[in-house]
Structure 1
Amino acid sequence: MSDSIAPAVSIIIISYNTRDLTLRCLKTLRDVMGNLSHEIWLVDNDSADDTLERVRAEYPEVLIIDNKENQGFGRANNQAMERARGRYFLLLNSDAFPFEGAVQKMFEFMESNPDVSLVGPRVLNGDGSLQRSINEFYSPLNQILDYSGWKRLAEKLRGKPNDALKGEFWLGGMCLFLRRDVWEKIGGFDPDFFFYGEDCDWQKRMRTQKMKIAYLDESHVTHLQGGSGAAKRLRTTLWYYTMLDLFIWKHYGFAGGALYRAAVAMWCARKLAFFHARAVLGKPNDFAVKMHGFLLRHTLSTSKKMQRAIPK
């Protein structure tokens, strides 16, 4: 492709010690992209495996950003979006695999719907079942309900994973297809969100700017989940909960943040009492004690950015 001709789509993949998944993702893209003009950016977050060596040997057309330290998901995507030339960006997890025609369908949808800024596909688990990819925005109220157990009960009674489509929703970041002008108008992901929550925050900012987000059920992607984070369970769990703290403070201010932290503190204290009682009975759970203990300590602190306390 000539350097003077911009591709229709810039595909951006982040890798972090996910060699086999990344290679499978690239193989899938080679098989399913057809004639849709595209470029592929791979941002590697200082993987300890031989991801880059294999990609350079087997997929020389892929454009690589080789980070010398883990920049996190959002910042790494920003690095590629800053360099990408496509009219559209496809942000794709290394453990996400589009079906034949899936990217083409999202492209055609966006071409036919100029009022839409971002679209996401139907996401499936590895066994073909529907994976939740449509979510209600985090808020102090729905998180308090979640910690109390009422929200999970309501979701169980409601049943369908994607019922959030009926209200104002955000789409999981495993596969997002968006116009270049989203980046140009509001910028990329907030780098304060190291891992988890950056997709929700970004789409909250899009909604604030009256940008339209859509869901395309006709386009299918398989997502295996947990490719980059599964090996560090405690760390990734803490990232998730502290992301919620950061999101609530950012979008709901002092009142929302204080209310949220009070709910978390009560939840953690209750859980710690429960797990300590189990330990006395000879059924210890060190993971749960460490996680809830960390969250309780930092919830009671004055820091609004608890993620910075978690080693990367």
Structure 2
Amino acid sequence: MPSELDRAYLRGGLGSAPPPAEAGEHPLVVLVVAYRNPVDLRACLESVALHLPGIRTLIWDNSGPDWPGIAELHAAFPDVEWYTDGTNRGFAAGVNRLAALAPEADLLLLNPDALLLGDLAVTRVALRSPGVAAAAPRIQDSALSASDGRDWDVAHRRRGTVRALTSYAGYAARLRGTPLSDLYGEAPGEVEGYLTGACLAIQRDAWEALGPFDEEFFLYGEESDWQWRARRAGWRLVLTDDAGVEHAGHGTVADDAKAGRRSTDLLRANIALNLEHDRGVRAADTYLAGTALLDRLQRSTRRAKATARRTAKPAIVITTNRLVYGGAERQHALLAAELDRRGYPVTIACMQRLGPIVAEIPHSVRVVRQPWWAPVLDPVSGPQILISATTNTETGFASLWRAGSKDRRWLVAAHSWFGPNGTTFSAPLARAMRRADGFVGLAPGHWDVGPQFQDLGKPVFTAPNGIVSATELDSVPPSRPARAAGRPPHLVMLSRIVEWKNPQLLVEALAGIDAPWELSIFGDGPDRERLEPLTPPAARDRVHWRGWVQGPDAGLADADLLCVPSRDEAFPLVILEAMARGVPVVASATGAVPEMLAHGEAGRLVEDVTVDGWRAAMTDLLAHPEAWPALGDRGFERMRANYSIEAMADGYEAAFAGVLR
């Protein structure tokens, strides 16, 4: 996971310096973030070559590998610099990476469906004016008629909830110049709100002072958020008299209805995120609730509701707070994609924010942000099932949603293990969850130990987590690297570094063992700074705190044995990651871990989660490393038989059938 420094950088938290008295002069570079649609991109690059000859042009391509027509553009524009990592990282991330490749230049952000009509001389001069962070030319939007738009509508007044709702309802142009609209009645010079990013010039000194785009936006809203930060720090935004850009306005997904719907949902969510940054979460949630109400009131939506298609399978709603990188959130995304593949209409409803995992979810799965107190989603005819976790926000959303129709059912799926002693949930939360139609556990007995739920009176189902498809497991058998002769066994811990994960316990246990071993601890977290110095001096040459790594491959690629010493786990996905690679596992016997490891047949269990207990287990394991490959093979077979993505979806389908009966 990113460090606190990374997160502050991406949010602009490291840069809020006021503008200098005079702007420095920098060369200009053109930055384009492409996503498919090579026809529009070709026209864009031709306009750049015509009107800005000799200007360095960089493209970050989010199209994915081998998208038709992109390779031909590489050949047609040999002087353009092309960059990609083969995935869709979103617009903000693409701009940030390109900007880092031209550290001494001013930036001209250009949409791939925009055409330059001139050399933008006035806009480029404006960037050299004192205190100017960004400038934009007037834009001819070919998607709007003369009565709908003006060529200065690239400039927007400061947006609040009312103005955002006016725009969403389609009345911004009709009410331009009034307090209800974010559009100016006449062309402004200096802009109080933001300039849209179809063609946006950014001054390098401002970029360095304020930091890059916030990558949480993924697509839409990142440029207005950056300009809000600029205005707050005292920088200026200007609209110039250049009439030098034509914008097609249909975007890069005009021919893909599902991708277009995802774009619309991202735009709505990111307007809310802008409002949250500027005016607080209440303003954001009010906007989201208001847009949902507008969708119900407007005529086209009423007609859609009247003709809502009844499918053979129930519509599925999966709730989460955010789609950030975490075990539960990853399972939401994988489950949604598999249920979608099986023909279920699936919506993921985020209570608080979206997040980076949205990039990994197929466009056929709807992803929306909606406040917990306004559980209004697209109208669906026929049965619907909502899957929630056990948080307050998700339970509130589910309770209100469930009460909205007799065709709705609610499943509570826990992602944490319940302690056998003490109160697992607050009394109000427990009472609310008892209204659910059923409960889903990660392993047999999951819900049996929750003291607040001793009298459920509802069916309990089991659906284990899964991380890899059965097809992939069948086609790619595990392959362990051969251990070099004389090299000590390489032990690995891959975890967020917090005290209850017990890295210090593992280190202390190993420090008392004379047998050869080497330990790598991958991960970062709030307790690392305190726990790492506790490594005993005698073990410091054998214990390596590696820090955060991108994904499990880096941590497990050279592992001989995965160690999971936590004192409290529900269903640690890192165990599945190791099993899928044939890496043997030793783990504390907590939560679902005994079931995952077949009660010791598919991995080593440590019942006594103390230094002495782990030292005894590791002493025995290190005395017989020749047995580890067979243990890894049994783990792989256990994984393939019980913990594929398909097995997870099978469990949920059984729960669907149970609550619909």
Out of 43, 50, 57, the residue aligned to residue 40 of structure 1 is 57
The worse-fitting range, judged by mean Cα deviation, of 151-160 and 194-203 is 151-160
CA drift at 1:242: 1.2
Where 2:78 maps in the other structure, the secondary structure is coil
Within 5 Å, which residues of 2 pair with 1:213-224? 213-224=237-248
Task: State whether structure 2 residue 208 is matched by structure 1 residue 184.
Answer: yes
Task: State whether structure 2 residue 120 is matched by structure 1 residue 120.
Answer: no
Label 1:165 to 1:19 Cα distance change in 2 as closer, same or farther (>3 A).
Answer: same
Out of 155, 160, 165, the residue aligned to residue 139 of structure 1 is 160
Where 2:115 maps in the other structure, the secondary structure is strand
Question: Match of 1:290?
Answer: none
Label 1:258 to 1:69 Cα distance change in 2 as closer, same or farther (>3 A).
Answer: same
Task: State whether structure 2 residue 217 is matched by structure 1 residue 193.
Answer: yes
Matched AA of 1:189: F
Label 1:258 to 1:52 Cα distance change in 2 as closer, same or farther (>3 A).
Answer: closer
Task: State whether structure 2 residue 199 is matched by structure 1 residue 175.
Answer: yes
Identify, as 1 or 2, the structure richer in helix.
Answer: 1
Task: State whether structure 2 residue 351 is matched by structure 1 residue 303.
Answer: yes
Where 1:155 maps in the other structure, the secondary structure is coil
Where 1:217 maps in the other structure, the secondary structure is coil
Label 1:38 to 1:257 Cα distance change in 2 as closer, same or farther (>3 A).
Answer: same
Task: State whether structure 2 residue 235 is matched by structure 1 residue 211.
Answer: yes
Question: Match of 1:155?
Answer: 176
Where 2:127 maps in the other structure, the secondary structure is helix
Give the number of equivalent residue pairs.
291
Deviations 1:101-127 (A, max 9, x none): 22x33223333x233221100101348
CA drift at 1:151: 5.1
Label 1:222 to 1:257 Cα distance change in 2 as closer, same or farther (>3 A).
Answer: closer
User: In the alignment, is the contact (CA less than 8 A) between 1:246 and 1:304 conserved in 2?
Assistant: no
Out of 91, 114, 125, the residue aligned to residue 96 of structure 1 is 114
User: In the alignment, is the contact (CA less than 8 A) between 2:99 and 2:107 conserved in 1?
Assistant: yes
Label 1:70 to 1:116 Cα distance change in 2 as closer, same or farther (>3 A).
Answer: same
Question: Match of 2:278?
Answer: 251
Question: Match of 1:63?
Answer: 81
**Whole-angstrom CA distance in 1 between matches of 2:170 and 2:73:** 45
**Whole-angstrom CA distance in 1 between matches of 2:51 and 2:99:** 22
Question: Match of 1:31?
Answer: 50
Deviations 1:47-92 (A, max 9, x none): 4534442232121111111231111111111110011144311111
Question: Match of 1:227?
Answer: 251
Within 5 Å, which residues of 2 pair with 1:271-286? 275=301, 280=306, 284=307
Task: State whether structure 2 residue 38 is matched by structure 1 residue 19.
Answer: yes
**Whole-angstrom CA distance in 1 between matches of 2:119 and 2:173:** 35
**Whole-angstrom CA distance in 2 between matches of 1:311 and 1:164:** 42
Question: Match of 1:3?
Answer: none
Matched AA of 1:208: R
CA drift at 1:265: 4.5
User: In the alignment, is the contact (CA less than 8 A) between 1:245 and 1:306 conserved in 2?
Assistant: no
**Whole-angstrom CA distance in 1 between matches of 2:181 and 2:165:** 20
The worse-fitting range, judged by mean Cα deviation, of 228-237 and 249-258 is 249-258
Label 1:101 to 1:145 Cα distance change in 2 as closer, same or farther (>3 A).
Answer: closer
**Whole-angstrom CA distance in 2 between matches of 1:148 and 1:279:** 18
Question: Match of 1:106?
Answer: 123
User: In the alignment, is the contact (CA less than 8 A) between 2:93 and 2:218 conserved in 1?
Assistant: yes
**Whole-angstrom CA distance in 2 between matches of 1:254 and 1:80:** 31
**Whole-angstrom CA distance in 2 between matches of 1:164 and 1:285:** 43
**Whole-angstrom CA distance in 1 between matches of 2:169 and 2:67:** 41
Greater relative CO, 1 or 2 (CA 8 Å, sep 6+): 1
Label 1:95 to 1:261 Cα distance change in 2 as closer, same or farther (>3 A).
Answer: closer
Deviations 1:29-62 (A, max 9, x none): 111114xx52110110034534442232121111
User: In the alignment, is the contact (CA less than 8 A) between 1:17 and 1:49 conserved in 2?
Assistant: yes
User: In the alignment, is the contact (CA less than 8 A) between 1:13 and 1:94 conserved in 2?
Assistant: yes
Superposition TM-score, scaled by structure 2 size: 0.40
**Whole-angstrom CA distance in 2 between matches of 1:117 and 1:215:** 12
Where 2:287 maps in the other structure, the secondary structure is helix
Label 1:190 to 1:242 Cα distance change in 2 as closer, same or farther (>3 A).
Answer: same
Deviations 1:185-210 (A, max 9, x none): 11111111111111211111111111
Question: Match of 1:289?
Answer: none
User: In the alignment, is the contact (CA less than 8 A) between 2:108 and 2:201 conserved in 1?
Assistant: yes
User: In the alignment, is the contact (CA less than 8 A) between 2:36 and 2:70 conserved in 1?
Assistant: no
Give 5+ residue unaligned stretches, structure 1: 1-5, 287-292
Matched AA of 1:236: S
**Whole-angstrom CA distance in 2 between matches of 1:164 and 1:246:** 28
Question: Match of 1:79?
Answer: 97
Superposition TM-score, scaled by structure 1 size: 0.79
User: In the alignment, is the contact (CA less than 8 A) between 1:46 and 1:67 conserved in 2?
Assistant: no
Question: Match of 2:269?
Answer: 242
CA drift at 1:149: 7.1
Deviations 1:261-309 (A, max 9, x none): 443444345459x8456654xxx367xxxxxx98x999xx672214666
Deviations 1:121-160 (A, max 9, x none): 0101348954431122332232344567775652398999
Matched AA of 2:175: A
Deviations 1:230-281 (A, max 9, x none): 2222111111111122222222223323433443444345459x8456654x
User: In the alignment, is the contact (CA less than 8 A) between 1:105 and 1:219 conserved in 2?
Assistant: no
Label 1:68 to 1:256 Cα distance change in 2 as closer, same or farther (>3 A).
Answer: same
Label 1:7 to 1:306 Cα distance change in 2 as closer, same or farther (>3 A).
Answer: closer
CA drift at 1:21: 1.4
Label 1:86 to 1:19 Cα distance change in 2 as closer, same or farther (>3 A).
Answer: farther
Where 2:50 maps in the other structure, the secondary structure is helix
User: In the alignment, is the contact (CA less than 8 A) between 1:90 and 1:176 conserved in 2?
Assistant: yes
Where 1:163 maps in the other structure, the secondary structure is coil
Label 1:236 to 1:278 Cα distance change in 2 as closer, same or farther (>3 A).
Answer: closer
Where 2:159 maps in the other structure, the secondary structure is coil
